[in-house]
């Protein structure tokens, strides 16, 4: 492992690749601290801190490509989003809360004049298929920022030894590339902490995450999403400015979802009301999928308006299959 890092260090220096050089040096520091050589690790980090800032900006106009490249591309996926608030069904309080967060972030300057900053660390929690990932995309779409999704699965399985280093690289990206940073399936940190053989490594990851959150002054919005809020430590909780619950849809919300999805294809409110009755108990994602199925039937039939029957059939199919998200 160390030989690999040293090779990378020398190679990147030889290539004049500042970014990889910095990354390799950080990995070296991490591996030293993992080996208990805390002093050496600190020295290395101090040297890195004194390195001149990377010269990306000097190479010409900054091209705003949302998708990260290089090593980071494995753990961070990015893209611009078209989703807007009108595309998501939310409880009134949750909608108001998100609207408020959006206006705070749009009025950053005004807030800062009075010594406060916008709330930008959000924890989304709730059942699967109820809009956590979608809401993060909506925030990005509304702010005109890319949604940068951190792939925790890749972070853990591929680079276990260097997970904290990868996390650092992601946080280093935040000031450089303003965006909505979504730490999806965030509970995997906590879960892995519980059942990994290497408890020391996971504790280091959590500690690194908390320190990085504390130190982050990027202005980027950070969203952590989880189905298992009960697995999170108090220490983790405290880092978030806003905690947003995403519940299974109420009957009213099912009506709203059906109208959102099928209203333009002729589904009226009464039909939506009736259909919502048979959709009760399912998640938004399940019902959205049934709506798509109904549209497929309509299209294959060469019609341009949806019939209530198409949706009834799609919902029945959903029940027959008893998708695993139902609980």
Ligand X SMILES: Nc1ncnc2c1ncn2[C@@H]1O[C@H](COP(=O)(O)OP(=O)(O)OP(=O)(O)O)[C@@H](O)[C@H]1O
Residues that bind Mg ion (CB under 5 A): 132-133
Residue showing tokens 């999805």: 261
CA distance 147 to 181: 6
Residue of the chain from 44, 181, 284, 290 that contacts ligand X (CB under 6 A): 284
**Stretch of 37-45, 88-96, 152-160, 235-243 lying at the interface with ligand X (CB under 6 A):** 88-96
Collect all residues with Cβ–Cβ distance below 8 Å to 172 and sequence separation of at least 6: none
Judged by beta carbon distances under 5 to 8 A according to partner kind, the member of Mg ion, ligand X, none in contact with residue 227 is ligand X
The angle subtended at Cα 186 by Cα 183 and Cα 192, nearest 5°, is 135
Number of H helices, E strands in the chain: 15, 6
The DSSP bridge pattern shows strands 242-246 and 121-126 to be: parallel
Q: In the stretch 200-239, what mask flags binding to ligand X with x, by CB under 6 A?
A: -------------------------x-x------------
Q: What is the DSSP letter of 63?
A: P
89 binds ligand X (CB under 6 A): yes
Q: Which residue is nearest to ligand X (CB)?
A: 131
**Stretch of 18-26, 84-92, 138-146, 305-313 lying at the interface with ligand X (CB under 6 A):** 84-92
- With CB under 6 A as the rule, give the number of residues binding ligand X: 17
Residue of the chain from 48, 213, 285, 323 that contacts ligand X (CB under 6 A): 285
Residues 34-53 binding ligand X (CB under 6 A) are: none
- C-alpha pair distances (Å), 16 with each of 116, 165, 278, 313: 41, 21, 63, 62
Count of all residues that appear for the chain in the document: 327
- C-alpha pair distances (Å), 26 with each of 76, 101, 165, 169, 176: 18, 34, 7, 9, 18
CA nearest to 272, candidates 298, 311, 313, 303: 311
Q: Which is nearer to ligand X, 130 or 262 (CB)?
A: 130
134 binds ligand X (CB under 6 A): yes
167 binds ligand X (CB under 6 A): no
Q: Which is nearer to ligand X, 137 or 208 (CB)?
A: 137
Dmax of the chain from CA atoms? Answer: 72
**Stretch of 43-51, 96-104, 126-134, 161-169 lying at the interface with ligand X (CB under 6 A):** 126-134
Q: Which is nearer to Mg ion, 132 or 261 (CB)?
A: 132
Judged by beta carbon distances under 5 to 8 A according to partner kind, the member of Mg ion, ligand X, none in contact with residue 170 is none
CA nearest to 91, candidates 246, 280, 241, 228: 246
Q: Which residues of 102-125 are buried (b: 16+ CB within 10 A; e: fewer)?
A: bebbeeeeebeeeeeebbbbbbbb
Judged by beta carbon distances under 5 to 8 A according to partner kind, the member of ligand X, Mg ion, none in contact with residue 128 is ligand X
**Stretch of 48-56, 111-119, 132-140, 294-302 lying at the interface with ligand X (CB under 6 A):** 132-140
Q: How far is the CB of 156 from ligand X (least distance, A)?
A: 17
**Stretch of 97-105, 129-137, 174-182, 213-221 lying at the interface with ligand X (CB under 6 A):** 129-137
Q: Which is nearer to ligand X, 117 or 188 (CB)?
A: 188
Query: Which residues of this chain interact with ligand X, rule CB under 6 A?
Result: 88-90, 128-134, 225, 227, 246, 257, 284-285, 288
């Amino acid at each position: 492992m160390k030989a690999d890092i040293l090779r990378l260090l020398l190679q990147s220096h030889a290539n004049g690749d500042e970014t990889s050089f910095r990354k390799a040096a950080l990995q070296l520091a991490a591996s030293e601290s993992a080996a208990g050589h805390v002093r050496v690790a600190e020295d290395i980090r101090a040297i890195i801190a004194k390195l001149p800032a990377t010269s990306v900006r000097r190479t010409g106009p900054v091209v705003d490509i949302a998708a990260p490249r290089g090593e980071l591309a494995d753990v961070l996926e990015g893209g611009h989003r078209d989703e807007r608030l009108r595309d998501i069904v939310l409880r009134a309080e949750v909608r108001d809360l998100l609207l408020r967060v959006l206006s705070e972030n749009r009025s950053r300057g005004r807030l800062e004049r009075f010594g406060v900053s916008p709330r930008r660390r959000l924890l989304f929690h709730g059942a699967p298929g109820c809009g956590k990932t979608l809401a993060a995309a909506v925030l990005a779409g509304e702010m005109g920022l890319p949604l940068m999704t951190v792939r925790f699965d890749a972070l853990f399985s591929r680079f276990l030894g260097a997970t904290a280093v990868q996390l650092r690289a992601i946080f280093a990206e935040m000031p450089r590339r303003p965006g909505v940073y979504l730490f999806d399936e965030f509970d995997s940190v906590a879960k892995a902490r519980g059942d990994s053989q290497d408890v020391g490594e996971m504790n280091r990851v959590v500690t690194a995450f908390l320190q990085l959150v504390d130190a982050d002054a990027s202005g980027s919005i950070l969203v952590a999403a989880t189905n298992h809020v009960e697995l999170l430590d108090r220490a983790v909780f405290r880092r978030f400015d806003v905690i947003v619950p995403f519940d299974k849809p109420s009957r009213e919300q099912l009506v709203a979802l059906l109208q959102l999805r099928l209203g333009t294809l002729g589904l009226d409110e009464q039909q939506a009301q009736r259909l919502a009755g048979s959709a009760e108990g399912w998640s938004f994602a399940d019902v959205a999928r049934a709506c798509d199925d109904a549209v497929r039937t309509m299209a294959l039939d060469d019609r341009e308006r949806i019939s209530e029957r198409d949706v009834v059939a799609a919902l029945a199919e959903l029940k027959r299959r008893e998708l695993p998200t139902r609980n």
